Structure formats: structure tokens, C-alpha cells
Structure 1
Amino acid sequence: MKDVTLLNDGWGLRHEDAVLPARVPGCVHTDLLAAGLIPDPFIGTNEHEVAWVGDRAWTYTARIPADTAHERTDLVFDGLDTATEITLDGEPLGRTRNMHRTHRFDVTGRDGELQVHFTPAREEADTVRKSVGDRPNVYPAPSQYIRKMACSFGWDWGPTVVTAGMWRPVRLEHWSTARISQVRPLVTVAGTRGRVEVHLAVERTAGGTGRALTARASVAGVDTEVTVEDGHALLCLDVPDPRLWWPRGHGEQPLYDLTLTLSDGDTALDTWRRRIGFRTIELDRTADEHGTGFTLVVNGVRLFARGVNWIPDDVLPSRITPERYRRRLTQAADANIDLVRIWGGGIYEDEAFYDVCDELGLMVWQDFLFACSAYPEEQPLRGEVEAEARENVVRLMPHPSLVLWNGNNENLWGFRDWGWEPGLAGDSWGEGYYLGMLPRVVAELDPTRPYTAGSPWSGSWDHHPNDPAHGTHHSWEVWNRRDFAEYLDSVPRFVAEFGWQAPPALATLRRALPGEDLAPDSPGMLHHQKAEDGNGKLDRGVERHFVLPEGTGADFDRWHYLTQLVQARAVAAGIEHWRSHWPRCAGTVVWQLNDCWPVSSWAAIDGDGRLKPLYHELRRLYADRLLTLQPASQGVVLGLVNQSATPWRAEVTVRRTTADGTVKARVPLTVEVAARDAVRAPLPVAALGLPEDGEFLVADVDGLRAVHFPVPDREFPYPRPQFDVRVEPVTGDPDTVDVVVTAHTLVRDLLLQPDRLAPDAVADTGLVTLLPGEQTTIRVAGWPEPDAGPARAALFCVEPA
């Protein structure tokens, strides 16, 4: 049987005249941090203090033992970041230039000092650039000339921390006769039968050449075996009545163990195991009266995708553990999210990421790793790109959660709209990857899944790449230039990116900016804001609705609350509108779920893992049933979305009320909403009337509430909010309390910021609007010294202008 020796320990990192202890997986930054030689790049402006690390060459060393019990020993690197020269006792083993691939070297019978020398990433990229010529890029760093996580060079939400190191495991594999070199399981469903076609590739030693080996496969109680005469074999397993894997909210997620054993007679040589799921996935791109659709169809059921974009959860990705993946993805599932798009400027995530998605029913949209740049198609990049794509398609295809391959992020759009086309003057820029190589690789290796050339992408050059009527659309004009109310002006077929910024939680800011007098424009706040004119856009977003606070202290607290409130309202405006237009619009993918460090950004979960108000709003917006009030060309529309499997007979009460709580009109409405459907119903203006000065609308049904204020908040005559607060212990849980708020006036968008009570405190509720006499209970966990006074101080709401 193949033996594996992990090489996690015993590494040294050469620094100056010393050799520092090094951890694998890890990187230069984590090793220097552990040695106390660099400050934390996440704190203050330390990003600048560690910039030198990415511009220096580094060498890792370890001793490896020889093995005499097997015919062959391979040294395997699961992830080298990025350009390396590898030697063993001074003799070259090979060079690498791709962070996203596995590298394997034959070290049979050899031992001694192993050295892995890392060339600075920018130096490698500049060498390639000189060879292939300049290409345009949204950012100044040369990320398109090296197969490395692009956002390590910085992004509009991330720091510039250019990593180097062995960021995934290293091991020695000792084997004899033959080993399993590749397994491609094609999982299909036809009627009531599932089928698994296991495509096996075998590598042999010289002694194993020509031997008749046996491959046995098993899944769901079905077994089969074949004789392997050469380097390839096909094993087919037909499974009667498999339970189908469904996205969360649509059914269960049964998983089956698929095992494969390669044997020489009675001697087992190698094994391979994965969990698979049975389901079908299609992408409906049918043309209709509205343009060209983009609808995911799972097991024959058409879905509205409730999605979020995912970036690497740490700019030092070797620090992301399986437990961290599970925590973050469980948070996504708890917010009723059912699709996670892995964005093309990051990484192909670790196996643990996709395992959790399989278990939780989170569909995965996987970008190939190209983002916001023109990519040369010449060597040495072209060969690396194809090898990377082939390896990762095969690695990830067992996962039922993976539903879509996507060629790139925004590069087709960039070619057409961002001034690239004339400057390129015919030079290659990536089109050959997205419309040629990548669809060919997917069709050959994984024909069970759809492929799309890019996001955004209209489906062909016959339409603008970002045409909202065709395919996927990225909506960024609103955040960059317009008010979020303008989301209501169009109905894209699928909104793959849109969002709004806000700062992280206060406790996150205090940890990242120790000792700073926080203000919107204080030095640390500006450093932890990477978007072009990011704070200017935040301020303009607030000013359209509120009087803009300025300065430190209470003014900063108010600015902090209002920017987070506007973020939640902006995303809500888009999702409420687009979900109510199902099936014309078939999905929204919010930019973004997570952060890679503490920063003002579009994330719903900040860089320290704290929940912004947007997170709680996503849970409401993505619930199976959603109630909304939306302005329309003539009056107000009541939108009801029912993504559950049962019809919804909605007995809605709509009130027109004044700021002081006086009800001017009340109308009961009965709306029938079929399962997996949405209805937009105009309000009966004759019976209800439209809101006049100082009036607004409230709709309630089955514990859901929607409000509509006809004017910006700064123009509405809010009363001074008055409410009582009491804190009640939760029986049997000493670390959890209920904060009960009773309103005596209209209290709009009440928010408890739990990190103001204790850094690790968590609340179960986000924004709440209360009418006079109403009460809400907010459960807070992790608050060791509960008291009504601090609870009141941690509560914010809309106040009169």
C-alpha cells in the first residue's frame, strides 16, 4: 500500500544570517509574525511596514529521509506560492510558477537537504511581462503575468500583502508497482437511476509495467471491478433509486461514499475516497420576450439563486482552517443563502470548503482564476493555465455542490468598455481562454456541469457583455454614482454582482486601529478603506437620505450607524425588487459575504468575523417568504415572494399611518402565491389612499413586515424616538440575555450593536421598525455583565433631521 509521510515539521526559513522555525502549510509572513520580526499587517498602517517582505527572495530548507521499502518516492507540493526553484542536496529537482497547481517530483532513493527558493512574485511577473508585452489592468500590480492569487497584490477591499511560501501541505508518497494518478467520477441521473462513471488513470513503476491490476469501485451498496491493462480504466456503477441532493431550502443533501481501490492480486496498492451526490444541473439560457435568460435548474426544478460572492477569507490563505470554513459557510446558510460564487481574483478553495457546501446545500459557482485584467495567452502562461484548469476541474468535480464553471470576472466587459480593445491592437488578452480553452477543458473532463464564459456575459458578442437583458449582469453604477433607489429602474436576467459599502463593527475598528480617535477621515480609517473615493461614496449615499454627521465621538457613532444602515437598505432595495420579478430575474449574488482583513467594504461579515446589519438583512431578504412594498410608476406595489414548496395564502394588512401612530386607513388583502412563485400586486389606492406629508405605509402578514416612506428620511417628520429597555436573563444560559425594547413612538430601523456591549457578543436580530406600543426582543449571547444602561447605549435608530 502507498505510504504517505507529511512534511509539516522540521522546516527552516532563512532570514538574514539566521534560520527561523517555519510552519508548513504557511507562508513567509506567518513565519515572520511567529518570530516577532514583523508587525501584524492588519493593525493600523502596518501594511506599509511589511511591504518589503513581498519584494525579497526567500528560501525554505528541510531534510528528507530516503525510503528503501518501496520502488518509488515522490515529493509532492499541494501548493507553492509561487515562483520557485527546488533543489535536493544542491541538485535541481525543478522549477514552478503556479500557486494553483500541485507539483510532483521523483526523489526515489534520495535524501538530504531540500531547498525551496522563492523568487519575488513581482520579479517573476515582470520577467513574463517583458517576454509577452504589456497588457491593461484595473490595478497597477502585474497580477495577470503570474498564476498567483491576484488579490494578494491588493484590491479595492484588500491590502497589498504579497505572500510566498508552501501554502498547502507537502508530503512524501512512497509506492510500488502502481498508484492512482487521477480519478474523474461523472455522476448522472436518468429517471430513477443514478450512474457513476469512474475514469481512472494509473501511473506505474518500471516493475509494474505490463502487470494486470484490478480496480474496484463501490458506492451506495453497488460494487464493480475491472482489470487495468495499461494506464487507464473505466468503471461504471448503476445505482437504483438514489436519494437526490438538493440545494438548501429545496430538499435534503444525501451524500454517498465513493471508494476506489487499486490492487495487484491480493495486495492493495492505493485507494481513493470522496463523497458524491446524485443530482442534475442545467443552465437555461433560452431567449424570450425579455432577452436571454440565465436560470439554474437543479433536478428539473428552476431556481431563483440567493447568492453571495466569496473572496479568500484571509489575505494569508494558509491560515484558513476547516473550522473557519465551516463557521463562515454555516453563517451563510443561516442567512438563507443557497449559492456561493468563488470569485476569480482569489483561489480554488481547499477541499474542506466544498465539503461543507456539500453538507449544507450551498451551491458553488466556481470562477476560473482571472479577474479585471487582460491576460496574455502566450507561453509560459498558456501551458500553466491549461494544466491548472485540468487539475482543478478534476479535483473539484466530485462535489455535488459545484453547479457552474465560470471563465473569468469582468474581463469580457473590460475588453469592450474599459479602453482595452484599442490599446491591445490585436494582442492576446484572454478571449482564447474564456471562449476556447476553458470550455474545451470542461467539455472534455466534466460534461455534467454548465460553463459560462464570464461574469458578466451576455452569451455572445451580439450583445454588450454587461447587457442586463442577456445573461449575467454586474450592477455597479448605483454604488459608484447613483442612489440605490435606481436599482428599481431595471430587471436584469441575473444579477451576479451588486452591493454597497459600510465600515466594519466598532470592536473590529478598535482592534485594528488601537488608540486612534475614530473619525470617517482619521488616518487608520482612510488606510482601511481601499476603494477609490470610498468614503466619498459612503458619505454621498448617506446624504441622499440623512443629514451627514461629521467628526469624532457621537458624530462618528452616528456616521457608523448610518453607513451600515444605508448598506442594508441598498441591498434590500435591489433584492426585494429583483426577487419580486421572478422568473424574469433568476438570481442575485451580493458582493460580498466576507472580508480578508478589517476594512470598510461591501461585506456582510467583517474581517474579524463580526456580523454587520447587512447580514441580518440578508437573512430576511433571502427567506423563503418575503413581503415588500415598492414604489412604482403609479402608486405602490405589494410584492410577495414564495420560494417555499407550498402555496401561500397571504392575508395581508396594509395601513396608512402618520408619524405619531394614527392609522388613517386600513385595508385587508388576500393574495394567493403559488409555490416557488412571486406576485406583484398594486395597492388599492381608492381604498387606502397614498401617503401624504408625514404619512407612511405598513404591511404585515405572518410575522413579516414591510414599510414604505414616500420621502427621504431627512424630509420625514420623525418624532424624537422614545422607548424603554429592559434586560432579562435566559433561563439555563448564563451567558445569554434578552434585550426587550418597548416603543412609545415610531422607532425606525432600531439596531442593537452587540460588540459595544462586549467584543464577542452576538445578537440574533438586525434592523427592526416598531410602531408606538410595539415590542421586540433581541437575544444577545456572550455578554458577561448585562445591564439596561449599556444596552440602551448600544441601541441606535433613525432620528429627526
Structure 2
Amino acid sequence: MTTVRAVRALHEGWTLHQVGGGISRVPATVPGCVHTDLLAAGLIEDPYLDDNENRLTWIGRSEWDYETVFTWSADGYERADLVCEGLDTVATVVLNGVRVAATANQHRSYRFAVRELLREGENTLRVRFASPQAYAEARRAELGERPGAYAAPYQFIRKMACNFGWDWGPAVVTSGIWRPIGLHAWSGARLASVRPLVSGDGRVEVHVAVERATDAPLTLTAQVAGISVQTVLAPDEHEAVLTLAVPEPRLWWPRGYGAQDRYELVVGLGEETWRGRIGFRDVRLDRTGEGFTIVVNDVPVFARGVNWIPDDCFPARITRERLAERLGQAVEANVNLLRVWGGGLYESEDFYDLADELGLLIWQDFPFACAAYPEEEPFASEVEAEARQNVTRLSWRPSLVLWCGNNENLEGHADWGWREELGEKSWGAGFYHDLLPSVVAELDPTRPYWPGSPYSGAPGLAPNDPARGTVHIWDVWNREDYTRYGDYRPRFVAEFGFQGPPAHATLRGSVSDDPLTPTSPGVLHHQKAHEGDAKLLRGLGEHLPRPEGFDDWHYWTQLNQARAMAFGIERFRALAPYCAGTIVWQLNDCWPVTSWSAVDGAGRRKPLWYALRRAYADRLLTVCDGAVAVVNDGPQPWAGELELLRLGLAGEPLAKETIVVEVAARSVARVGLPDSVAVPGDPSAELLSVRLGEHRVLRFFAEDPRVAFPVAAYDTEVVPVAGGLDVTVTARTLLRELALFPDRLDPASSVDDMLLTLLPGESVTLHVTGSPDPAALVTRPVLRCVNDRTYPGPPGWAARSRDGQTER
């Protein structure tokens, strides 16, 4: 008996109607959502512009009908299923006037048998979406309040939590058919699920479930790397396991550790096939000494990670090309791990496929974040169903190395006063410690499960203990100076971050304030963090002067973000292998906003991104605690003569030491600094240069406002080249943190490097894409450095202008 199958997308001819409201028969795009349909129809202003989101809350409080008419005729197939890959969120599906189903989970897909409801000729399909806001509020009233980080009732609905607003995102509560929808017709039998479990020794266990409309025997086949197996299902059988053994397979490795070899696995049932590109690899957690080390193919991997949030508030707009750009930006910044954060989504197939291809490890949170979640019905059944479905869907992905139960809910219960507020109410513990680990153990024993982050390894331990498991560090940014990172000795930092504004073109494109200032209404609206504006300024601390005007504010707060995160990453990498990973909060943004991201909401790289690329490089020199840490996370030893120079600000050598070093692959060596170079004669007028081969790091003995910088003097040359301009800057004085911001002239422009400190006589050539004005490109505020003008220095210091005359 063979199976046949036809798939027909139902993406055309949809209209949108507000139930009981004034909007009717608006053309709708499927996949999509109400917000984007109303925007396309010109009925609302862009939610990302100014404070428009405040005037659009009615959308999430309305009911909406999506409707289409399609033709159908008998096609000879025995069965026809309506397959809804994503309904957001509280939906009633009606076909030809008959209610097919009601759903309330954005994180699931659904299949409904509808053959008996289909008619010859025209058929009408309607999906009615109830107000997600009203649904969540009703469940809260029914089950009782639960504490959370925000007032919105996001924990009472199985929907992307950050849709209700976060400290980096707007409140745009969506409804819509957000993933594909269509008719699947079949006869005989179909593949209901395929769950390959793959190990590094070449073994593949393919767990197959079938749905059948026949009592005839069914033949299942599987093949990979030239190896084939088959089995026959008896009339009363619906499941089988096909085992293949590939001798000496080429392994899949994380980027930087080897190739990302993948093999096509093909599973067949008659004419129907399932295909996936699997990778042979093993993964485990090493908890030795209560640490937290990800081990792939028996090799410990230091996680150079970033946290990932949904890349748009309206996920249907996220294309494979956009994901390829964003994950490419992660790779270019020397990242090897993405943590899919628990306030978002199980991501798309394109996301995981790109990660497989690029060798990016994926830490996948189950979607629970920053709240106490009810465990009563219908939530418990919904959570189990979505977990089973998504664990099955992703079990074969080589990039996926960890399932994590939640984000910060264990910490919230232990440390944020939730226990007193909850009393005897459920809060999610049963999910994180019982249900989810059971589902993972049953369906995906090939990779580890971790109950939540932060977590110390056992329910009775303080969850955010740096000495155990994973830690989130948020006293920095919220209260402490970023040098506080130096006081930590963490085993694994799964979240830490520091804010900075987006690129100028991104901010200007989303805010119509005139003039644009740090405290103009639109700029403040695009700052969602509690007291975020004040924290940005307070975070400058002793590191940078007070800004005078918008241009200083923008450059210095971006620079301070980059310095803060580089400081933390370097300190933690210097602790390897005791510290086995850092995951920066965050890689990306979902809209234009001042946030912790390295890539802003328009996809532009902030200065943090360039600092991240250096701090996450295979080889790193960093100065801390009177020593140079030589960090070698590459596959080859790093040997040579370590040159230590104490210099004056004019570049003149005051002391020199050389030390021969040899650092094994994947290890760290610490070299003490001799007093001759470590102790300055005048901290305000000297700096330390550390060089090993082509790697150099400069460290000043005083914070910038107390350094007697000369006012920057330099020469520039701008040369047209293929794809843009080459800008050469030659320093006549020391230039501190040289940066180019070509997007201020041409929003399509970018630069290949920035935040470079040059000694007198040194040159750098920066490549700029796009078509910015060459003359304006090398003038302030497009070209910046810390000492590009006079600002208060140490007592008695007389600043010098570019022509050598005293300015004060």
C-alpha cells in the first residue's frame, strides 16, 4: 500500500474584519498579523515611529476575523487536513459555517481533519481571533494573580511574552495567522512525526509515527550516507524505530572547532518523504566542581555567546535572508552560541537550519520568562503539548545543545518576594522540575536539560550563586559601575549587559523630535528600561566626561556600552576554564530602541558589536589585577615574545620588558607585570602597551577625564574604491577610541571597524560602504575620538589645540 499526499497553501484572498468595530474587509496577508495588515492598508501609523504604540492598544483588545474563499473539488484522496502551523493566539477555526476547533497557544501547530466539511466549488474559511489581552486578563481573574516583572498578564496566555512589552520592546499585542496554513490531502497513511536521535558514533535512531486510513501493512524506509534500512508496520501498528549505523562519520563541530559536516537523512512512507540534514555529534554538560561546561564531542567549549530575542515584534516579517544577515553578524563577531531567550519563541526552521550550517550552538529556553506561571488546566496540557511538539521538531538539529526550562523564574521565586505573594498558588515549579525534564528525557535524551537560568544545580540552592551553575549579573547597569564585573568569579554567565543607544540613522528614522536630544519625547519613548536615561548617564561614572549636547551623549554612551561589555567579557574569559562561558545580553533588537543590543533594530552594528568582535576573538590579551592574561581559545598553541612598554602620551618609551610566553590551545596563561612597566611615574600622562605578535592592547593608568590628552591632531585621506570609500587616518597625536559614523550622512553606509586607539605616527584605513559625502565623512560628529576637543582634565593640565596653541 502506497501513500499519496498533496499540499495546498491557503495564503491568498484573505480579508480582515474587526468584530463589532469599524474596520471591515481589509486585505490581509497570510502569514501575517493584524498590525501589519492595518499598517499596509494605511489605517494605522507605524507602531515603531515616535509613541504611536500608545495609540494602538485597542488592537490587542479587539476581536478579529480572517476570512478567505477557496475552491475545492474531489481529488481522489481519502483524507484532507487543515494544517495551521501558527495561530496567534486565541483562535476559533470555522470551515463552511462549522466550527472546526478552538486554540489558545501561539507556540503550537495544529492539524484538523476536514474532508467531510469540504464542498465542491467555493469553500469559506474563517479564523476568529479573540482579544489576547481580554483572554489573559480573564484567566488571571479565574486563577488568581501571579507575580511578574511587568503588570501585563503575559503569564496567563501561551503567547510570546515580550509581545506585551518589555524593558526593550513595545507593547504591540498581536493576533493573526502568523505561520503557513493549508490543506494537506492524503490516502492510505501519512508520516505523522519523524524524530531522529543522532549520536557522534554514527548511530541514528529514527522514531516514526504514522496516521493510517488503511489496515494494509506499511513499509517505512530510512537512508543516510549510503546506509538504508526498512521495516514493515503490521495493520495494527502506528509507530516504529529505524536504526542506522554510519561507520566513521565526519562529525559536526561548533564553529572554530571543526567543520559542520551534515548528511541528508531521508525517511519514506510510500510516496511521502521526510528530509533533514543531520549532524553526527555528542553533547553533554560537565558539572565538575558545580561548574557548567558545554562539552561537544568530548571537547569542552568556552561559550562565546549572545542572547537572542525575536528579531521583530511581528515575526511573520522575518525572512530567511534577514536571519542569515543577523546570524552572520553573530559569526562575524566571533560568537559561537545563541541563547534563544524564554520570553520569545521557539524559532523557525530557517533559524535552526542557518545555525546548523554556521556552527552556532543553540541554547533553547522553553518560553517562560520573568513571572510565576499557573500550572492549572488548561495551561498544563498546553505546555505539555507544545513541549512535545517542539522537542520532536528540533530533536535532530546538531546546533541545539541545551534545553532550558525558563528565564529567571527560579530566581524570581527565591529572591524577588514571590513566595509571600503567591501563598499556596502554583508558580511553574512543576513545569521546570518535573514535566519539561520528563518530556526531554523521553523524546530527546541526546542533549542535556537545565531547569532554568540562573540556576545553581539543585532546587534548594540559591539560584543566582556565581560559584555554581549559571548566573545572571544585573547589579552592573542597574546599580554598580561596570568595574564591578572584576569582583565576580562566575562559573558561567548566561546574562549580563549594558545599554547604549542605536545608530544615529536608526534613531533619527524612528523619532521625529526636532531637535533630537537625549531627553526629547521620542528618544525617551524609545527607552523602555526603568530609569534607563539616568542609568546611561550614571554609567559614564569616572570613565568619560559629562556629555555636552546630543552628539557627545550619543557617542559616549555608545562607547561606554562597548567598554563595559568588553571589560566584563575579558575578565570572565581570563578565568577560563573555571568560567566556561559568557552570553551577552543581547545580540539583536525587535524595533528601534536604546537597549543592551550589539545590533540595533534596523540591523545596524553599534560600537558594542566591534568591541564584541575583539573581545570574542580566538586570541585575546587583557590586563587585569597586575597581570596580562593571554587567552588562547584557538586550536593551535600561541607562542612568542610578549612586549611590555610603558609609554608617554606622545608615544615615547619610558620602560620596556619582554617575556617569552607559550600558551597551549584552549587555555589561558597569566603573566605578571613587572613594576617597571606596571607603575607609572605620572598616571595622567602615561599608558601601557602589551603586544604579542600581531595582537596589541593599550591600557591607560587613569580614567579618560584624568588623562592629559592632547587635543586630537590627524591627517585624513578619502579614496573611492569598489563598494565605497577607503578612509585613512594618520595620527599626529594620540587618538583615543577613533570612530566613524557614516550612517549620519548616508543611512545605507557602514564602516568595517571602529573604537581604535592610535599612537602618534600610526595610521589606519577604514572601509566605508555606501555614498556618504567624502568631506563631511572626516569631520565631527561623523569622525569622533574621545580627545577630539577640549574637556576637563587633571588639575593644572593645559589642553593643546590641533595647531599647538594653548586652549585653556
Shorter-chain TM range is over 0.9
What residue in structure 1 maps to residue 366 of structure 2?
368
Residue 183 (structure 1) aligned with residue 186 (structure 2):
no
Q: Does the C-alpha gap of structure 1 residues 691 and 151 become closer, same or farther in structure 2, counting only changes over 3 Å?
A: farther
Q: Does the C-alpha gap of structure 1 residues 39 and 508 become closer, same or farther in structure 2, counting only changes over 3 Å?
A: same
Contact 1:544 1:712 in 2 (8 A): yes
1:407-418, aligned counterparts within 5 Å? 407-418=405-416
SS in 2 for 1:141: coil
Residue 680 (structure 1) aligned with residue 678 (structure 2):
no
Deviates more, 1:157-166 or 1:512-521: 512-521
- Tell me, in whole angstroms, the C-alpha distance in 2 between the residues paired with 1:17 and 1:278: 53
> Structure 2 residue aligned with 1:540, among 519, 538, 546?
538
- Tell me, in whole angstroms, the C-alpha distance in 1 between the residues paired with 2:438 and 2:640: 48
1:544-583, aligned counterparts within 5 Å? 544-550=542-548, 555-583=549-577
- Tell me, in whole angstroms, the C-alpha distance in 2 between the residues paired with 1:253 and 1:756: 39
1:516-527, aligned counterparts within 5 Å? 516-527=514-525
SS in 2 for 1:233: strand
Residue 136 (structure 1) aligned with residue 124 (structure 2):
no
Percentage of identical aligned residues: 53
Contact 1:628 1:707 in 2 (8 A): no
Contact 1:725 1:791 in 2 (8 A): no
Deviates more, 1:301-310 or 1:17-26: 17-26
- Tell me, in whole angstroms, the C-alpha distance in 1 between the residues paired with 2:437 and 2:538: 42
Contact 1:748 1:797 in 2 (8 A): yes
> Structure 1 residue aligned with 2:482, among 478, 481, 484?
484
- Tell me, in whole angstroms, the C-alpha distance in 2 between the residues paired with 1:691 and 1:612: 36
SS in 2 for 1:626: strand
Residue 195 (structure 1) aligned with residue 186 (structure 2):
no
Contact 1:67 1:174 in 2 (8 A): no
What residue in structure 2 maps to residue 94 of structure 1?
101
Residue 714 (structure 1) aligned with residue 705 (structure 2):
yes
**Residue by residue, what CA displacement relative to the aligned partner does 1:715-734 show, whole Å, maximum 9, x if unpaired?**
1211111111111232xx1x
- Tell me, in whole angstroms, the C-alpha distance in 2 between the residues paired with 1:313 and 1:235: 38
> Structure 2 residue aligned with 1:28, among 34, 39, 42?
34
Per-residue deviation at 1:614?
0.6
**Residue by residue, what CA displacement relative to the aligned partner does 1:40-73 show, whole Å, maximum 9, x if unpaired?**
0111111112221111100001124445210000
> Structure 2 residue aligned with 1:8, among 11, 33, 38?
11
> Structure 1 residue aligned with 2:748, among 735, 738, 760?
760
Quick one: which amino acid aligns to residue 219 of structure 1? V
Q: Does the C-alpha gap of structure 1 residues 637 and 67 become closer, same or farther in structure 2, counting only changes over 3 Å?
A: farther
What residue in structure 1 maps to residue 798 of structure 2?
none
> Structure 2 residue aligned with 1:500, among 498, 501, 516?
498
> Structure 1 residue aligned with 2:126, among 103, 108, 115?
115
**Residue by residue, what CA displacement relative to the aligned partner does 1:45-103 show, whole Å, maximum 9, x if unpaired?**
11112221111100001124445210000001000000011112221111000000001
What residue in structure 2 maps to residue 663 of structure 1?
653
SS in 2 for 1:173: strand
What residue in structure 2 maps to residue 386 of structure 1?
384
Gaps of 5+ in 1: none
> Structure 1 residue aligned with 2:764, among 773, 776, 800?
776
What residue in structure 1 maps to residue 724 of structure 2?
736
Quick one: which amino acid aligns to residue 260 of structure 1? V
**Residue by residue, what CA displacement relative to the aligned partner does 1:495-549 show, whole Å, maximum 9, x if unpaired?**
0000100000001111101353111110001000000000110000114322212
Quick one: which amino acid aligns to residue 620 of structure 2? L
SS in 2 for 1:479: helix
- Tell me, in whole angstroms, the C-alpha distance in 1 between the residues paired with 2:114 and 2:714: 73
Per-residue deviation at 1:790?
4.5
SS in 2 for 1:535: helix
What residue in structure 2 maps to residue 727 of structure 1?
718
The normalised TM-score by structure 1 is 0.95
SS in 1 for 2:697: strand
Per-residue deviation at 1:787?
3.5
- Tell me, in whole angstroms, the C-alpha distance in 2 between the residues paired with 1:688 and 1:394: 56
Contact 1:655 1:688 in 2 (8 A): no
> Structure 1 residue aligned with 2:24, among 18, 26, 35?
18
- Tell me, in whole angstroms, the C-alpha distance in 1 between the residues paired with 2:638 and 2:432: 43
**Residue by residue, what CA displacement relative to the aligned partner does 1:167-215 show, whole Å, maximum 9, x if unpaired?**
000010000111100111010123xxx011000000012xx1x210101
SS in 2 for 1:437: helix
What residue in structure 2 maps to residue 335 of structure 1?
333
SS in 1 for 2:654: strand
- Tell me, in whole angstroms, the C-alpha distance in 2 between the residues paired with 1:687 and 1:420: 52
> Structure 1 residue aligned with 2:229, among 224, 232, 244?
224
What residue in structure 1 maps to residue 81 of structure 2?
74
> Structure 2 residue aligned with 1:345, among 343, 346, 353?
343
Quick one: which amino acid aligns to residue 162 of structure 1? V
Residue 149 (structure 1) aligned with residue 157 (structure 2):
no
Deviates more, 1:351-360 or 1:704-713: 704-713
Residue 611 (structure 1) aligned with residue 605 (structure 2):
yes
- Tell me, in whole angstroms, the C-alpha distance in 1 between the residues paired with 2:73 and 2:212: 18
- Tell me, in whole angstroms, the C-alpha distance in 2 between the residues paired with 1:530 and 1:783: 33
Residue 641 (structure 1) aligned with residue 631 (structure 2):
yes
Q: Does the C-alpha gap of structure 1 residues 687 and 566 become closer, same or farther in structure 2, counting only changes over 3 Å?
A: closer
Per-residue deviation at 1:644?
0.8
The normalised TM-score by structure 2 is 0.94
- Tell me, in whole angstroms, the C-alpha distance in 2 between the residues paired with 1:481 and 1:3: 59
- Tell me, in whole angstroms, the C-alpha distance in 2 between the residues paired with 1:798 and 1:8: 54
**Residue by residue, what CA displacement relative to the aligned partner does 1:392-415 show, whole Å, maximum 9, x if unpaired?**
001111210000000000000000
- Tell me, in whole angstroms, the C-alpha distance in 2 between the residues paired with 1:793 and 1:84: 51
Quick one: which amino acid aligns to residue 364 of structure 2? Q
Contact 1:666 1:688 in 2 (8 A): no
Residue 750 (structure 1) aligned with residue 741 (structure 2):
no
Per-residue deviation at 1:660?
2.9
**Residue by residue, what CA displacement relative to the aligned partner does 1:355-413 show, whole Å, maximum 9, x if unpaired?**
00000000000000000000000001000000000000011112100000000000000
